[in-house]
Amino acid sequence: MNNKINTVLFDLDGTLIDTNELIISSFLHTLEHYYPNQYNREDVLPFLGPTLRETFEPMDATKVDEMIATYRKYNLAHHDTFVTEFPTVLDTIKILKEKGYKVGIVTTKISDVVMKGLKLTKLDSYFDVIVALDHVEKAKPDPEPIFKALEQLGSNPDEAIMVGDNYHDILAGKNAGTKTAGVAWTIKGRDYLDQFEPDYILEEMADLLKILEGSSHEKH
């Protein structure tokens, strides 16, 4: 594949903005309410990435909507206390825009909370498209959200790269036929992402610029 990459799609949580502590705290609050003294921090780490429904439904299908509502209420109330951007993210996104790249977000979060996080970290004016959970039938790792973003951007998979911190992001990119980049700052650890064989691993977001400049040369 020799096509030059002109489109960059990002996951949001754990990739562009550090929502890890907010998400962990929200899960612990919710699970403590429904299952007192049964879950700790390590137990909820696997829940970062999948949709809330995918996480809560196996626990109790009759209470899944109630649990999602409990989670979201707490999450919104504590959002601005916890959320920050990761280092070099804002500068990298600005440079991508200046250089004419098409940039988008593909996330399993609902759109109103996406905008809350982007505004808080001053990233809200940079993205050409945002595909959130409420915009699709199937979430990542299904390729539908990536295809939707590419269609809105007028891009093809072979000229795009999907950047994320979770296996959902890497597999969604592979399923859609894009290049993939994992972020070494994933809370689950670099070794975790390596097993899904992304084309690249970013030590910091600015590494993306070097990769795009030498688009055809693969390196880890």
Domain with CATH 1.10.150 in the chain: 20-82
End-to-end Cα distance, the chain: 17
Out of 11, 13, 18, 165, pick the active-site residue. 11
Q: pLDDT value at position 219?
A: 41
pLDDT in tens, the chain (220 residues): 347 999 999 999 999 999 999 999 999 999 999 999 999 999 999 999 899 999 999 999 999 999 999 999 999 999 999 999 999 999 999 999 999 999 999 999 999 999 999 999 999 999 999 999 999 999 999 999 999 999 999 999 999 999 999 999 999 999 999 999 999 999 989 999 999 999 999 999 999 999 998 864 444 4
Omega cis (within 30) before 141: yes
Domain with CATH 3.40.50.1000 in the chain: 7-18+84-213
3-state secondary structure of 85: strand
Whether residue 11 lies in the annotated active site: yes
Q: pLDDT value at position 37?
A: 97
**Which class would CATH give 20-82?**
mainly alpha
Architecture of the 7-18+84-213 domain: 3-Layer(aba) Sandwich (3.40)
Return d(Cα 38, Cα 159) in angstroms, integer. 46
